[in-house]
Amino acid sequence: MSATPTRLAFRQPSVIPGFGLTLGLTLTWLGLIVLLPLSALFIKTSELTFERFIAIVTAARTLHALQVSFGLAFAAALVNVVFGAIVVWVLVRYDFPLKKVVDALIDIPFALPTAVAGIALTALYAENGWIGSLLAPLGIQVSFTPLGILVALVFIGLPFVVRTVQPVLADLDQELEDAAASLGASRTQTLVKVVLPSVWPALLTGFALAFARAVGEYGSVIFIAGNLPGVSEIAPLLIVIRLEEFRYADATAIATVMLLASFVLLLIINRLQRWAELRGSKHA
Amino acid sequence: MSALGESAGPAAERGASEGLPSALAQAHAYAAQHRPVRTEPRAVRIALTLVALAFLTLFIGLPLVAVFYEAFKRGWQAYVAALIEPDALAAIRLTLIVAAISVVANLLFGLVASWCIAKFEFPGKTFLITLIDLPFSVSPVVAGLVYVLLFGSQGLFAAYLQAWDIKIIFALPGIVLATIFVTFPFVARELIPLMQEQGTAEEEAAISLGASGLSTFFRVTLPNVKWALLYGVLLCNARAMGEFGAVSVVSGHVRGLTNTMPLHIEILYNEYQFVASFAVASLLALLALVTLVAKTILEHRLAEEDR
């Protein structure tokens, strides 16, 4: 900061005009659309006594809904990291017909509305659906069970992992692998000791992004879940149910827990991204 | 960063072939002949490719195909009938209105915010970017709920709204607000990194040559970011038209009045009108496909301009 003792400069000097105006507009709009509404949640929650808040949040049905949302989001993010890594590897390193089309289709879960994904997955995994009818003889039921929730969460999370890891692997200098190989490393050793450490931060970031998205997901899940309280009811759905029952205190308390979780996840993701960038610039 | 990597590559190779001793060239040739160490055995490559394609077919290909299959299950006539029915038309109209307002709002915000963040240095900038990103990580249901807590019948502003007879929740304003919230970061997020990368030299030059701030923005900055801007608008629009959770909480589900397309899909589906439900869904799926095609073309343009 180049501050003179007489006048403390908030920003570094520049000939470009419009700083005050654009910063003012940005903060006003951000305040009105995002911060004011979010603070309404905390204001409403603070109207509850602490005991009441704890009672709502630790009620069996709430706890179970939170457990379903967080547990299955974690499992789905794991599935996405494993298969996402394979997809990225194949897309970056190998060649096959229609690769460009396949690459573009990865973003479908970003672009397809969640309600559309929800009814499509339900149709596929229902007992008479294309996939459900194949699984039924094996005794596996997907739709209207927690497994169905997992399927929906894997669907919506996949592009987060792929699009985070893909550019990192594409930028990776393959001469490092050549060097490792020429020094006598086996292919497995090269992958584990050279490639994995470089893409590891990106994989973790992708995991966190997929997890964060899956925890709060609503639209694609409610159709396939069956929504049985205590079994396949997710936390966002419980918020909606409490709201429809006019139990605002309950809805608010559960939403506060979800929002705090999002804050923590956002913080972790920011840290991970900075770490991944540092890693990236070190290798470049 | 990727642009730097690409431009460094050819330059380094030119240096190698022009000036360096031939032993190194021989080593390069040797390495080129022994490339197999770089990759996996053929069987592993084929197996991995098949695993990846099977996974993508199962989770992305089939759901997409299923939408259109279910929509056309009873033929063209049933499909068209489901789309020209008055409630469906009302839902389509509402969705277009909501998306148009939200996209324009976020477009203006995106331009203003990225100008302020990319062209100036000030403390707290990283924190400001984090706040702009915040709606990405908030559950859509929570996004809807916070507006109910503000403007609903039990909300913080309930008394004022009642006194002035203004309806926000279960009406168009609430739906628009919730949609703007969930699409808040889309345009800004595309513009900020690009404008930061482009720096301020061109703007400083224009201004020191006597251009006004506004004409600098329209003649220098805007042409530089036009593809990224379009890209952000596209993604913002797709999300705005398809938003379900947040809108579902604030809409009240009044058929023909406050039902957007995704909500109309839900109602039809819960009434077991599957063909009609998938017919409306197929429009949104088509929008998703068009968005992806446009996105691919734009990414191509962006990469070309980078060079």
Contact between chains at A83 and B51 (C-beta distance less than 8 A): yes
Contact between chains at B140 and A44 (C-beta distance less than 8 A): no
- Round to whole Å and give the CA distance between A65 and A170: 39
- Round to whole Å and give the CA distance between A135 and A248: 41
Closest approach of A229 to chain B, Cα-based (Å): 18
What's the mean per-residue pLDDT of chain A?
Answer: 90
For residue B217, give Cα distances in angstroms to A14, A128, B115, B255: 15, 58, 9, 44
- CB interface of A with B, residues 51-70, below 8 Å: none
Number of H helices, E strands in chain A: 15, 0
Q: Which residues of chain B have pLDDT under 70?
A: 1-38, 306-307
- CB interface of B with A, residues 242-271, below 8 Å: 242-245, 248-249, 261-263, 265-266, 269
Closest approach of B2 to chain A, Cα-based (Å): 7
Given CB atoms, is B64 within the 8 Å cutoff of chain A? yes
Chain B residues touching residue A23 (CB < 8 angstroms): 116, 120, 122
- Round to whole Å and give the CA distance between B174 and B21: 71
Paired tokens of A193: 């000791």
- Complex ipTM, two decimals? 0.89
A108, A221, A256, A265: best to mutate for the B interface, most B CBs within 10 A: A108
- Round to whole Å and give the CA distance between A54 and A70: 19
Mean pLDDT of A41-49: 91
Chain A residues touching residue B49 (CB < 8 angstroms): 90, 94, 96
- Round to whole Å and give the CA distance between B261 and B188: 26
Contact between chains at B119 and A14 (C-beta distance less than 8 A): yes
Put simply, whether the predicted model's pTM sits higher than 0.80 gets the answer yes
Predicted confidence (pLDDT) per residue in A72-120, tens digit: 999 999 999 999 999 999 999 999 999 999 999 999 999 999 999 999 9
Residue A138: count of CB within 10 angstroms of its CB = 7
For residue B64, give Cα distances in angstroms to A215, A236, B285: 23, 25, 7
Contact between chains at A11 and B291 (C-beta distance less than 8 A): no
Predicted confidence (pLDDT) per residue in B199-252, tens digit: 899 999 999 999 998 999 999 999 999 999 999 999 999 999 999 999 999 998
- Round to whole Å and give the CA distance between B276 and B74: 10
Contact between chains at B38 and A181 (C-beta distance less than 8 A): yes
Q: What is the DSSP string of A265-278?
A: HHHHHHHHHHHHHH
Predicted pLDDT at B38: 66
CB pairs under 8 A between A and B: 310
Closest approach of A200 to chain B, Cα-based (Å): 19
Contact between chains at B1 and A284 (C-beta distance less than 8 A): yes
- Round to whole Å and give the CA distance between B279 and B285: 10
Q: Indicate the pLDDT class of residue A275, thresholds 50, 70 and 90.
A: confident
- CB interface of A with B, residues 236-255, below 8 Å: 236-237, 239-240, 243, 246, 248, 251-252, 255
DSSP letter, residue B38: G
Predicted pLDDT at A50: 93
Closest approach of A83 to chain B, Cα-based (Å): 7
- Round to whole Å and give the CA distance between A150 and B27: 51
Predicted pLDDT at A283: 52
Predicted pLDDT at B59: 94
Contact between chains at A120 and B66 (C-beta distance less than 8 A): yes
For residue B124, give Cα distances in angstroms to A105, B129, B136: 37, 9, 20
Q: Are the C-beta atoms of B141 and A218 separated by less than 8 Å?
A: yes
Residue with tokens 């550019």: A167
Contact between chains at B115 and A22 (C-beta distance less than 8 A): yes
Predicted pLDDT at B225: 92
DSSP letter, residue A112: S
